[in-house]
Amino acid sequence: MTRKLVVVGDTLLDRDVEGVVNRLCPDSPVPVLDENNSVDRPGGAGLAALFAAGRGYEVALVTALADDEGGARLSSLLTAAGVQIYGLPLPGATPEKIRLRTRGRVLLRHDRGGPAGPPGEPSDAVLELLAGAAGILVSDYGRGVARLPALRVALANTTAPIVWDPHPRGPAAVPGVRLATPNEVEARELAGLASGGSRLAIASRCAQALRQRWRVGAVAVTLGGEGALLSHAGGTPLAVASPTCADGDTCGAGDRFAAAATLALADGALVSEAVQQAVAEASEYVADGGVATAVPAASAGGRMRPAGKAPASAPASVSGPAAVSGPAAVSGPAAVSGSAALSRSAPTSTTGSGSSAGGGSTAMGGSATRSASDPVGAPTSASDPVGASASGPDPVGRSASAPGSVGRPASGSVRPAGAASASAGPVRPGPAGGTQSGASGRGRTGTPVRFGAAPVMAVGWSDRIGARAAGDVVARVRAAGGTVVATGGCFDLLHAGHVATLEAARQLGDCLVVCVNSDDSVAGLKGPDRPLVRHADRARLLAALGCVDAVLIFDESTPHAALSWLRPDVWVKGGDYGTGADGPDLPEAEILHRWGGNTVVVPYLDGRSTSEMIAAARAGGRPGGRPR
């Protein structure tokens, strides 16, 4: 069994916006950036986890994820890179770091997400994970994960070597940590010592003070392009010089240093050997081009789509899926080019503790980019991204089942999303002179619109489809102390067996989120002739069921990324996935165990199968072999 390397800490969504500047703003003397493309990457602890992935260990990330589109995006990127997510609840919004860049230089960093809320408590599975880890990296970005008392107790009791990458706004390292890795600005702020003397002398005094105060084995102060200074039990520090002198984007170099040191210690290296290895890897990282090279945009993984969106790989200018959260601006911290190769933050930072601007291992995924001119996934306005909830009724409760209820009634009634009734409307002229017929839906402003001959892209305005809708439902149910239930599948031809499973699933909790395979995902699983019904239509049909509270479309072959973000209390599959008490566990059981969730199989109606329906139709008969 492969041993696990565990990363614990705060994860951010980093975005780089690349463009050109050729004019000043007419109403203010500031440059105007014309966006060419944007790239999403996990930052903070997520970046460190990506750097550790693919290095001989299974990598698990203990982090807090918000119930919003940013949290869904992070889960997709991390899962695509092979990182196992042990998610904790995070109130509020996903923290985002946006870097506006041109010609390899940073013009501005824009942070959003608001102040950090207290993350939720870890599950028993997280505590077991820490107890059996081969090595642990605490990547503290000052947003609360490293402060959780249960995690700190588990870290203090583990026998695994721990590397602690501290933050000035974070807590002290737990006693017994093998190595702490502040950069020199962080070390001065954390130690609180008066300045004076040479650079090495100041770093040495700060390292000694922190080692004694925190009761850790050693402290390595990173010195940018000069390497690192290691203070250990001996009186004389060890100065480790950088093997190269590189001038490049240093963003994420501190995370690369900490991840490399953790891997080395897990392999049995001495602390001095681990620091030398970390200096070499971080220096090479900057020399090779930094995060843009380490996490190439072309290695993008899947994502959870806003409702009704086509694959972002269609336009030639797009490499990877489109970003789904927020305006077209994208995130990441400000790290200008320079020689501070081992600094976590930009050389211009006042605290020396800024977040990384992106992350990833090699070609394992973990990033995505889109062209600024790409209509797929591009928001229609800065304040109203595609997939946003309609400004209409409460997205959680289409109709109140009882006072104080948080979901919708567990009924099997079927009607189009937002429609007054399920009856089909008359044929009417379409907006382009054609005709539209069918059921009513709800537009972006909450007014009825017609679906039929017109493209079903309007489904993107549904208040029950997409990551935002699912996040809203889950957050509200959790806040009310309810039970979140989820299920998933292709649902290519919706039939009575599907409905029976969905109705049974809804009765197990207070809301039901349905995870639906995208068109690309279905084709990969079932062949190029599937699906018969595109995912926009499938999502709308499911959202029209009275037992379904939200629908989430995902691109991956499995719903693992969606589950890691949603963290449902119960995951349900139809009876054709199990054989009773002696049958194997559902493949999602291990993932649900990470946060204490449960997997359940519900009875399935015999004789109802999409494949059989398709085969019967092609053979000119009916399901069950009856002739027409």
Cβ atoms of 109 and 332 closer than 8 Å: yes
Type of residue found at 170? G
CA gap 222, 420 in Å, rounded: 63
| Per annotation, catalytic residue among 255, 463, 510, 519 | 255
Q: Which of 520, 597, 523 is nearest to 563 (CA)?
A: 597
Please, which residues bridge with residue 108 across strands? 100
Strand residues in 476-578 grouped as ranges (E): 484-489, 511-517, 550-554, 570-574
Contacts of 125 (CB under 8 A, 6+ apart): 86, 593, 594, 595, 596
Q: Which residues of 456-477 are buried (b: 16+ CB within 10 A; e: fewer)?
A: bebbbbbbbbbbbbbbbbbbbb
Contacts of 1 (CB under 8 A, 6+ apart): none
Both tokens assigned to 573: 């599959």
Cβ atoms of 311 and 54 closer than 8 Å: no
305 membership: H or E segment, kind and range: strand 304-305
CA 557 to each of CA 50, 536, 560: distance values in angstroms, whole numbers, following the listed order: 20, 17, 9
User: Which ranges of 24-123 would DSSP assign to H, the alpha helix?
Assistant: 45-52, 69-80
Q: Is 255 a catalytic residue?
A: yes
List active site positions.
255
